[in-house]
Structure 1
């Protein structure tokens, strides 16, 4: 799939005592982008559970923090599927400051497709697989 972009604004609650975005919040921003990416493909996570008995969980994250984001910054969070298995997706994601396109954080996030009841690996629904272009 092509790169998906999602805008995020940094709120005061996103920052730490030093006035910069708390490191764990970058993961939240990336999660939002992946959720919105799914929506653009026509999938809601609660509907995937109800209709297909499938949910997605983060299995592995590798991030590089390059520069801090600060209160009120406008950010662009990208998400691209770089690998698709039968029961997993690997995303390459980046967060940039919109004003000057400076890279703030980037990395890879591996997502597991799981049975919503047993939390065991489960094949990604065919409708979603058809929409993936890697």
Structure 2
């Protein structure tokens, strides 16, 4: 995956817990994905794009098509982590959210990941990104300050 670019749209800070790690105390590789999804869902919610009401309000919704993660450094039990969300590539019927996971205590990038999202009709067929959503995406490309939530 290439280096993440663009403004930070939203971020979370958290402390890794025992449930996030393997018996050796190292982050279990799949633990990043629920944390990415939570950050993405909260950002969209704060922008008025609730996944549970998109079909009723707009006649479309979104589904994840592809996710990936590059594990750059070991993250361990009790590490404080900052997860940053940015907008990646925008296509015809899909767009990508990019994430970076930083260990706060030494500002070391421990993982970089992405989630490609497709806009679909109620019967889950891909549709062109609707104009209203495309306007959001274009404004997010230019966004400066990040929305930030309380630390966990």
Shorter-chain TM-score range: 0.7 to 0.9
Aligned with 2:118 (options 97, 105, 112): 112
Post-superposition CA distance 1:42-69 (Å, at most 9, x none)? 2211121332243322212232101122
Shift of 1:91: 2.0
Aligned to 1:91: 97
Aligned to 1:14: 20
Shift of 1:115: 2.0
Shift of 1:126: 2.9
Distance 1:83 1:68 in 2: 28
Comparing 49-58 with 15-24, greater Cα deviation is found at: 49-58
TM-score (norm 2): 0.76
**Which structure's relative contact order is higher, taking Cα pairs within 8 Å and 6+ residues apart?**
2
Q: SS at 1:45's partner residue?
A: coil
Q: Which runs of 5+ in 2 are unaligned?
A: 1-5, 142-152
Shift of 1:101: 1.5
Distance 1:98 1:79 in 2: 16
Shift of 1:124: 3.2
- For 1:1-134, what aligned pairs fall within 5 Å after superposition? 2-4=7-9, 5-116=11-122, 118-133=123-138, 134=141
Paired residues in the alignment total 133
Q: SS at 1:2's partner residue?
A: coil
TM-score (norm 1): 0.85
Comparing 74-83 with 3-12, greater Cα deviation is found at: 3-12
Q: SS at 1:19's partner residue?
A: coil
